[in-house]
Structure 1
Amino acid sequence: MQLNITGHHIEITPSLSNYIKEKTERLTRHYDQVININVILEVQKLTHKAEASILVSGNHLFAESVEEDMYAAIDSLADKLDRQVLKHKEKITSKHRQEGSHRNIIAE
């Protein structure tokens, strides 16, 4: 998995970078086919925005979160991405099961 972190109007500190790495590790625990994660952190006046795009096998996922605190925005973003990855994984496994059962019906 490749992780790219960029910042607009914000310096990416080592603690911020480590926090993002911890949160994205949860995604790879749930689904090991995560290829690339691009995280963009942005500050506009009093709002902190975190957005990420994930390339997984067979799909491209995107989420964004706007909060008053950057760490809260990253937490919210990680939760959104986690739900999307689990939903993607569920779709893939259900499609494989449907294909297998469909073949068995035709063969009989």
Structure 2
Amino acid sequence: MNLKISGHHLDITPALREYVVNKLDRVVRHFDQVIDVSVLLSLDNHKEKEKRQKAEITLHLKGKDIYVESCDGNLYAAVDMLIDKLDRQVIRHKDRLQEHQHEAIKHQSPDLPQ
């Protein structure tokens, strides 16, 4: 799995990098066919009153890309919400893949009423 963590208008500290990597382990534990992960952490200060921390992630899986973003006043809280959303989407994708792997119709026994 290739992991790229970058920051926009903020520096990525080793503690922040380790926090994101530890949280991503939860996602990889559910679905191990992850090819590439891109994380973008940014600071948006459009309004002078409040600074908004934003976390975005793009997860490249075999056959699908999943994009999730979340915003909060605290960057760690934004990462937590981001990982929760991503985890739900990965589990849903995994369930869809497993539902399609059913037995072919020609190999099923016919349930004909008599």
TM-score range, shorter chain: over 0.9
Aligned to 1:35: 35
Aligned to 1:8: 8
* Equivalent in 89, 95, 99 of residue 90 of structure 1: 95
Query: What do residues 33-85 of structure 1 show as CA deviations (whole Å, max 9, x unaligned)?
Result: 01111000010121000000000111110000000000000000000000010
Displacement of 1:25 after TM fit? 0.7
* Equivalent in 48, 52, 56 of residue 47 of structure 1: 52
Of structures 1 and 2, the larger Rg is shown by 2
CA distance in 1, matches of 2:66, 2:18: 22
More helix by share: 1
Q: What is the TM-score normalised by the length of structure 1?
A: 0.92
Distance 1:86 1:103, change over 3 A: farther
Displacement of 1:101 after TM fit? 4.1
Q: Does residue 102 of the first structure (1) align with residue 77 of the second (2)?
A: no
Q: What is the TM-score normalised by the length of structure 2?
A: 0.87
Q: Unaligned 5+ residue runs, structure 1?
A: none
Q: Unaligned 5+ residue runs, structure 2?
A: 46-50
CA distance in 2, matches of 1:70, 1:103: 53
> RMSD over aligned Cα, in angstroms?
1.3
CA distance in 1, matches of 2:30, 2:85: 13
